[in-house]
Structure 1
Amino acid sequence: MEALLSLSFDNLSSYDGGKIRKGLRQVEGLLAQICLSTSAKSTVERRRSSIVDPGKEPPPRKELGELGQDPAFREFFKLQEGFEWNVALRLVNCLDRLMGRSNDGANDLLILSTLDLIQGILLLHPPSRSLFSRELYMNHILDLMEPVNCPAIQSATTLTLVCALIDTPQNTRTFENLDGLLTVTSLFKSRSTSREVKLKLVEFLYFYLMPETPSIPSAIATASVPAMLQRSPSKLAGAFQLRAETAGRRRADSESETTKTIEEKQELLGRYLNSVDDLVADLRESTPFGMVEC
């Protein structure tokens, strides 16, 4: 696994579009091997089956709760704990270079592929979300939501932002401090924004207004693993146990982490959007995303 990661990282660090595309595909292939169910058939049998019946559905995805018990995933998760093999860091640095290139269709496709992989890695390895507590990386997300970018990138960036903020109030505070709410609401109110993007932004606003829980890494570091696992959308119980095993060597920071209530976030959002009261009322009534009333 280290050899494959090293090869993909070399390609991702290139300024050549072809090599970057190859590196993205290598990362995607690795994540696919981890997330797709393995059949009892041999590799040769599976390949023969796909040739004979090309319309056959691909292997089903593993349930998120099953990943924690998978040896390959546990090895991957452990590698992500270190700087050298962290995929999220390499992807956001690759995104930085792509954003500095000329805007064209080919580059836009590379940005979209990078955003998709960032979404996946943040869900598979929640501690990597801490990268977006840094203003540099959060600014990348906000820059990609600017009107100059195409609707596809704006939509993908909105989803990436959600993945970066799940269960990480510290990231949400960084988002707010960088006028992220202004960026989101300005894009939403712009007449040039496509309907698809506006729908994604509404979904994001519902998500933003939800009650906050402590960050997954902080909660584990303070030995509250069982409770956090029940609330975690990723449900990677086995993987989080790996985090718990090394938590004793890390400083718990949950005491310094600030969460905000729905009312506090409602007041903030209300500075930029008039219909916040309706959003909150609907949020409390419909309880989307399995929201628990606080």
Structure 2
Amino acid sequence: METLLSLAFDNLSSFDPGKIKKGLKQVEGLLAQICLSGPSSSRKHADPQHHQQQQQQQQQQQQQPTRKMLSDLSSDPAFREFFKLQEGFEWNIAQRLLATLDWLVVRGGDGQYDLLIVNALDLLQGVLLLHPPSKALFTRSVHMNLLLDLLEPINSAAIQSATVITLVVALLDMPQNVRVFEQLDGLLTVTSLFRSRETNRDVKFRLTEFLYFYLTPETPPVAQKAGRDGSSPNGEAFKSPGRAGKKGGEKSGSGVTLSVEEKKQLVDRYLPGLVDELLRDLDTYKPFGGILS
């Protein structure tokens, strides 16, 4: 796996857009192998009837793909190796993707790198979900600012939509990241884009989802203890803490959580009168399947 990552990182570090595209494809292929790998089909049976049954099973699987949860992957050896490698700086994919994004943003003002930026954001979302500890990268203002820069009106609607989703993933179950987002005037950036008449309708839909997400209760992240032998990924990283409302801000070992009322007041500075409507919708329509309520 180190060899595959080394090849991908070499391409991602290139100044050639073609090599960067190849590096993104290599990362995508690696993640796909981890997430989509299943039991290998046996080829011992060569009779036509068995072959026909296999084809029917494959068609059924294509029509109804098996959904894998993050917790289901924790016992997979390939995933455990991947998780272990992500714990170190040298092989951390999220760090490399952020560096690539920064390079593309600086040199992509004319839109020629838009597709590469969107692809990198999509991969970043997946990596952060597969390796939640990598979200800690966004406690650094330089990385949070990169996402906020991608929300600027100069960027395409596709980039803005992908950035909003990435932002949700980066903030999910990470109150300390939310506080960095707020300190960097992230709410001003989001609400300004939301209010602008020039903003694409699909982007506004994503921004509405983001505001729903932001106005949900927070809880401190689960404390994580790294194993000394590094032989297996931290099981706590696969557990999503419950979201219980709080009457006031609560200090934790890794940050400060704010109550829904406190966050409502922050949003109300930029979108007066709209917050109550958003909260009513949150209670009524249960976006995100109700898991954030």
Bin of the TM-score, shorter chain as denominator length = 0.7 to 0.9
Q: Which runs of 5+ in 1 are unaligned?
A: 234-252
Residue of 250, 266, 269 corresponding to 1:268 = 266
Residue of 181, 194, 200 corresponding to 2:200 = 194
Greater Rg over alpha carbons, structure: 2
Tell me the secondary structure at the aligned position of residue 100 of structure 1: helix
Q: Counterpart in 1 of 2:253?
A: 255
Once residues 3 and 222 of structure 1 are traced to their aligned partners in structure 2, the CA distance between those partners, rounded to angstroms, is 25
Query: Judging changes above 3 Å, is the alpha-carbon distance between structure 1 residues 11 and 292 closer, same or farther for their aligned structure 2 residues?
Result: closer
> Deviation at 1:260?
0.5
Residue of 241, 244, 253 corresponding to 1:231 = 241
Query: Judging changes above 3 Å, is the alpha-carbon distance between structure 1 residues 71 and 232 closer, same or farther for their aligned structure 2 residues?
Result: farther
State whether residues 35 and 61 of structure 1, in contact with CA within 8 Å, keep that contact through their aligned partners in structure 2. no
Residue of 103, 116, 120 corresponding to 2:122 = 116
Q: Counterpart in 1 of 2:18?
A: 18
Q: Counterpart in 1 of 2:160?
A: 154
The equivalences for 1:163-174 within 5 A come to: 163-174=169-180
Deviations 1:235-272 (CA, angstroms, capped at 9, x unpaired): xxxxxxxxxxxxxxxxxx94241001100000000000
Deviates more, 1:30-39 or 1:200-209: 30-39
Deviations 1:27-51 (CA, angstroms, capped at 9, x unpaired): 00000000003242269x9xxx9xx
Q: Which runs of 5+ in 2 are unaligned?
A: 46-51, 228-233, 244-250
The equivalences for 1:1-294 within 5 A come to: 1-41=1-41, 57=62, 60=66, 62-216=68-222, 219-221=223-225, 229=239, 231=241, 254-274=252-272, 275-289=274-288, 290-291=290-291
> Deviation at 1:231?
3.1
Query: Judging changes above 3 Å, is the alpha-carbon distance between structure 1 residues 78 and 226 closer, same or farther for their aligned structure 2 residues?
Result: closer
> Deviation at 1:226?
6.8
State whether residues 210 and 291 of structure 1, in contact with CA within 8 Å, keep that contact through their aligned partners in structure 2. no
Tell me the secondary structure at the aligned position of residue 213 of structure 1: coil
What percentage of aligned pairs have identical amino acids? 59
Once residues 92 and 227 of structure 1 are traced to their aligned partners in structure 2, the CA distance between those partners, rounded to angstroms, is 21
Once residues 80 and 20 of structure 1 are traced to their aligned partners in structure 2, the CA distance between those partners, rounded to angstroms, is 20
CA RMSD of aligned residues (A): 3.0
> Deviation at 1:147?
0.5
What is the aligned residue count? 265
Q: Counterpart in 2 of 1:236?
A: none
Deviates more, 1:18-27 or 1:274-283: 274-283
Once residues 225 and 82 of structure 1 are traced to their aligned partners in structure 2, the CA distance between those partners, rounded to angstroms, is 17
Query: Judging changes above 3 Å, is the alpha-carbon distance between structure 1 residues 277 and 66 closer, same or farther for their aligned structure 2 residues?
Result: same
State whether residues 37 and 62 of structure 1, in contact with CA within 8 Å, keep that contact through their aligned partners in structure 2. no
Runs of 4+ aligned residues of structure 1 deviating over 6 Å after TM superposition are 222-228
Deviations 1:190-228 (CA, angstroms, capped at 9, x unpaired): 000011000000000000011112224xx2249997798
Counterpart residue identity of residue 224, structure 2: I
Structure ranking higher on relative contact order (CA contacts 8 Å, 6+ apart): 1
